[in-house]
Structure 1
Amino acid sequence: MSSIPFYAKKFVSGINIEEAFATVERLNEKNICVTLDLLGENITEQKQAIKFVEEYDILLKKISEKKLNCYVSIKLTMLGLDIDFDFCYNNLSQIMRVADHYEIRVALDMEGTQYTERTIAIYERAAKEFKYIEIVLQAYLLRTEADIERVLTANGRVRLCKGAYKEPAELALKKMPIIVENYKKLIQKLLTQGQRVCIASHDDDIIEFCMDFIEKNHIPNEKYEFQMLYGMREKTWSRIREKGHNMTVYVPYGVQWQAYYARRLSERKENVFFVLKNLFKS
């Protein structure tokens, strides 16, 4: 039985692979893809990072064995980015060898701005060696337009989100209407020039804008997917899928759920409002 309390269980699928897979199978039955996130970050001991590498290897193998419509997301600080750059890259490489073998995508989640450059550098290096690597970029960062050029030069596989971390005004846009407009500008370039684009947003304005842009520009179905967080707007997932678009749900799991849940709410005051607002939207 899961030890996750009711208030977090809506957003975190469970504490182990079995509980996470039950959620994946339920969503797959609705023709919805899943990206699984094993919770953990800011690891400071090599033994801990190596243990997470082993867990991701097992996760990838089991996804393949079960033939699930599922890929994985991972934070580089879980693999030791706070310890050493090369140590982290070697850990990621071990995971990527398994992922490429089983043809399963691996998305590098983006963390705070102190990690942005190193995360992109690792992605660029990995894209030269591995096929199924992709990265997350955040539309509210001032640097993201230039970073998109780097991603397009690497392999053009990216998830674009608004951005959740609290960042200073010299690094990030602060007003939501401006962030939304920047998102629209950036996503147009990604949809027309990227190899695989994840439209990660719960914003109706962004979703409708992207659907219209995709239709008008005849963007092939295999080049994009919409993406939302587990527990948010489930009826909307189904509506997007029923319209013929690819739909992926970001599903976190793991024993470190409490730190994840608390951090996501505390990073920015807007996150609390975001969760409360979307609890009542379908």
Structure 2
Amino acid sequence: MSEAPSAGSASGLCAVSVLCCLTLACSYVGSLYVWKSELSRDHPAVIKRRFTSVLIVSSLSPLFLWVWKELTGIKTDAAILSLMGFRFEGIFTATLLPLLLTMVLFLGPLVQLCLDCPWGLIDGLKVAVDPRFWMLCVTDMRWLRNQVIAPLTEELVFRACMLPMLVPCTSPGTAIFTCPLFFGIAHFHHVIEQLRFRQGTVLSIFLSAGHFIGPVLCHSFCNYIGFPAIFTALDHPQRATIVLFYVLGVVLFFLLLYPMTDPALYGDIPICYILDKRSADHRSLCL
């Protein structure tokens, strides 16, 4: 079990936690700009350099969590990697259920994608199992960034490391909804880059800048689907069908959200043990 800090108020603990999270977020974003270049962020040379930067910062991110523990005096029997979510218990449900829940939320865009796809089901399956298709993917720098490197490093930094820092000074629920704020703020540099290279209007860029924070697979899936093309759906020849599935997806998402995210499905959660012993109401959210 954990012990609360022996000195300092709750506000002091939160100040240190927020400062550590901000430092980690700034380190991640700052690492992208150590390479000076006039090229677009989608240029293969820029992507390769940024791969190096974010992989280094991500590898060092557990060090930020360790420093935070030393500064706050938080003590727990759980190992650093365990606090960050690296464990085998409940791994099957943690892999499957959040991804299914995210796909339910994106039911409308998925139906729209299927209706617009020129391939039939059989042709699509043939492409999916074709090794040449995957070779093209892994040699595409943009694909690697969006589907592999970005989900892995961003989830490691902005969720796995930051969540344990925020939980002791808030409830687990509040911490879960606070982490995306750091993630969102850190991604405003994309807006500046896109405006710089005239890759869209201010409105269109802001509408497409966000992501749903979740496990790496959900993050990768959201990167693949992108921000729902609502206006395109309203102009689609099969608008009624697509809008129906948009609404159905949102309704089902909220109906299934709590049953499919019940902590009991995911085994013993180490992050719950860094809560103050007196915060029984907070710990109950982990049970």
TM bin, normalised by shorter chain, reads under 0.3
Q: TM-score, normalised by structure 1?
A: 0.23
**Higher helix proportion (structure 1 or 2):** 2
| Structure (1 or 2) with the larger CA radius of gyration | 2
Q: TM-score, normalised by structure 2?
A: 0.23
The higher-RCO structure (CA 8 Å, 6+ apart) is 2
